[in-house]
Amino acid sequence: MFGISKVFHRESRAASGVRSDARPAGWMKRVEAIMGTEICVELWADDAAQGADAIAAVMGEMHRIDRCMSPHKPDSELSIINRDAAAKPVALSAEMLRLLTQAERYSNLSDGAFDITYAAVGQLYDYRRRIAPSAAALARARELVGWRNLIIDEDAATVRFALEGMRIDLGGFAKGHAVDNATRLLRERGIRHAIVSAGGDSRVIGDRRGRPWTIGIRDPRRPGEMVAMLPLEDVSISTSGDYERYFDADGVRHHHLIDPATGRSPRSVHSVTILAEDGLTTEALSKCVFVLGVERGLRLIESQRGVDAVVVDATGALHYSTGLLYADPATRQ
C-alpha cells in the first residue's frame, strides 16, 4: 500500500529586510500512496518548518487511519470486528463508534442504498483478476447483507453481528473522514490555504491566496477531459465513478460501487460528485446517490441543507442540484 513520497516546495521571493537565514513562505506539496489511493496535500506555509510539520501531521494521520480501518491488516480494529463480532460484542474505540453510528444514519437516510455490510458481497469481486461471483455465490452472500443486522450498543460502545459470516467495510466514507481529520490538523497548525485529497475525496481550506481552488469533474468515458470545473473555497468535494476500479465482461461493467440490494454494480449513473461542509458527508452521499440513481438521488440531496451534487448519467447527460444551478458553489449557503 505504501509508495514513494514526492515532495515539492515552491518558495516565494524573500521580502526586503528578511534575514538571509530565514526560511521563506511558499507553497509546499507532498504525495504518498496510503489506504490504497493517492494522498496529496498542498498548502501555503508562512515558513518551511511550519509547512513541513503540517504535512507530516497529515501523512501521519492518514497512516494511523489506514492501520485502524484497513480490511487487509489483520490487527486493524476493522479486521478484529469482522473476525469476532458474530461471536460476541466487540468493544469499539470512540472513533469507530462514531463512524458506525454515522453509517447507520446514512443507511436509514438512504433506505439502505448506503450499507457497510455490503462487504459480504464486495469481497467476492476481484477487479484485478476480472472475477465476478457466480449467481449462486452472490445469492448466498446477499443473505448476509443488511444494515439492520449490525447491532450497535452506544452506551456500552460495542458492536455485534446478528448473522455468522457478516462483514463490514468502511470504504464508503473512511477516506472522507481521513480528509476531515487532516484539514483539522492543518488548521490547528495555522494553515489558512490548503487542499487535502485522498483519491476522489478532497477538502479545501480557504482560497488559493486570492483566487479559488479549481477542481475538475472528469469525463467518465473520455480520459483527460472534464465535464465541469468548479471554483471552490472552504468546502469538501467527493466524486464516485464507475471508472475507478472495474472490469468489463460480456457488455457489463463490474465496478466497485455496489448496490447492497442486488450485490451488483448500478448501471444508470457513471459518476456522482457531492459538495458539502465535510468529507464524511460528501463521500457517503456520493455512494448513496450512485446507488439511488438520478431522480431519487437528487431528491435526497435536495433534502439535505448545504449539500449539492453533479451527476453524470449513463447517457453522459449532466444533472445538477438546485444549489449549483442558481448559486456559485464557492459561496452557496
Note the pLDDT of residue 194.
98
The pair phi, psi for residue 98, each rounded to 5°, is -60, -45
| Residue where the block lists cell 457497510 | 116
Cα atoms in the 13 Å half-sphere on the side-chain side of 217: 25
Q: Angle 48-69/77-84 helices, nearest 10 degrees?
A: 10
Name the maximum alpha-carbon separation found in the chain. 75
Tens of pLDDT, residue by residue over 210-260, are: 999 999 999 999 999 999 999 999 999 999 999 999 999 999 999 999 999
Task: Examine the pLDDT at 14 and tell me if it is beyond 70.
Answer: no
Note the pLDDT of residue 325.
81
* Residue 166, domain member (yes or no): no
Tens of pLDDT, residue by residue over 108-147, are: 999 999 999 999 999 999 999 999 999 999 999 999 999 9
Q: Which three cell numbers stand for residue 105?
A: 444514519
Residue 289 CA to residue 89 CA, distance in Å, equals 32
Tell me the pLDDT band of 19, cut-offs 50, 70 and 90: very low
Other beta carbons within 10 Å of 94: 8
Interior angle at CA 8, CA 7 and CA 10, nearest 5: 155
The answer to whether residues 313 and 333 belong to one domain is yes
The answer to whether residues 44 and 28 belong to one domain is yes
The answer to whether residues 199 and 232 belong to one domain is no
The answer to whether residues 323 and 247 belong to one domain is yes
Residues 6 or more apart whose Cβ sits within 8 Å of residue 125:
131, 132, 133, 254, 256, 258
The answer to whether residues 126 and 261 belong to one domain is no
Tens of pLDDT, residue by residue over 276-299, are: 999 999 999 999 999 999 999 999
For residues 61-87, give the mean pLDDT: 97
Note the pLDDT of residue 146.
98
* Residue 185, domain member (yes or no): yes
* Residue 120, domain member (yes or no): yes
* Residue 121, domain member (yes or no): yes
Note the pLDDT of residue 327.
56
User: Could you tell me which of 241, 252, 259 has the C-alpha nearest to residue 132?
Assistant: 252
What is the CATH number for 257? 3.10.520.10
* Residue 17, domain member (yes or no): no
Question: Is-contact 28 51, C-beta < 8 A?
Answer: yes
